Structure formats: structure tokens, C-alpha cells
């Protein structure tokens, strides 16, 4: 697996391709969204929730992670890193904010959660 920083002008294309290839239809992929704030520690926004799609809105400069029951929006990320498998499946997304807060979206393929 490769970890790569994704330039802002490539976010929409990368997330659209991933969503179409791996998340549409009868996908059972799930996501965990973890927020790491230096002052608060680690907080989970969601765990094991069915993942419906990921998009980037260039006008709003926002990443949207669509999960069953709602969505998670990140506005004006400073940096976006992805961990991607050879077939293009995005295993993890790290979003870095200006204030050093980081958000980690872990994508669990086929709904199977990794054993820690």
C-alpha cells in the first residue's frame, strides 16, 4: 500500500473514482471516522458505519463523507493524505487542519473490521 499526499485539484476526481468503483450498488464497506484534537485526544465520530460515498466540493472547499444515517463534512483541509491499495481501494484518508487537528477516515473493505 502506498501513502500519498493528494493535491487539492485532484481530490474531486480521486474521490469520485473511488466512490463509483467501490461504494455504489450493494457495497458493504464501512468507515470509522476518528478526530484527533491535541487538547482533547481521540474522539470517534462514527465506527463501523456503512460508507455510501466520498466527495470533494471545490467551490466550498469541503470533503463530504457520506455514511448511513448522515454525513461528515470537513471544510478547508490543509492537507489530505490517502493510503491506497494497488487496485485503487482507499484504505484510509488523513485530513489535516490548520490548527493541527487531524481526522482519520478508515475504510473497512467488505464490512470486515480489522482485528487490532
Q: Where are the domains of the chain?
A: 2-99
Q: pTM (2 decimals)?
A: 0.88
Pairing of strands 41-57, 62-67: antiparallel
Compute the distance between CA of residue 105 and CA of residue 65 in angstroms, rounded to an integer: 9
> What are the tens digits of pLDDT across the range 1-46?
678 999 999 999 999 999 999 998 777 889 999 999 888 888 999 9
Amino acid at each position: 500500500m502506498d501513502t500519498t499526499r493528494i493535491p487539492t485539484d485532484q481530490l474531486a476526481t480521486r474521490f469520485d473514482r473511488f466512490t463509483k468503483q467501490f461504494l455504489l450498488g450493494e457495497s458493504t464497506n464501512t468507515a470509522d471516522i476518528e478526530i484527533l484534537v491535541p487538547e482533547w485526544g481521540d474522539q470517534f465520530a462514527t465506527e463501523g458505519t456503512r460508507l455510501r460515498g466520498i466527495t470533494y466540493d471545490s467551490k466550498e472547499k469541503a470533503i463530504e463523507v457520506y455514511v448511513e444515517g448522515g454525513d461528515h463534512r470537513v471544510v478547508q483541509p490543509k492537507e489530505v493524505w490517502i493510503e491506497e491499495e494497488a487496485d485503487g481501494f482507499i484504505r484510509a484518508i488523513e485530513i489535516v487542519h490548520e490548527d493541527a487537528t487531524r481526522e482519520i477516515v478508515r475504510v473497512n473493505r467488505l464490512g470486515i473490521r480489522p482485528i487490532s
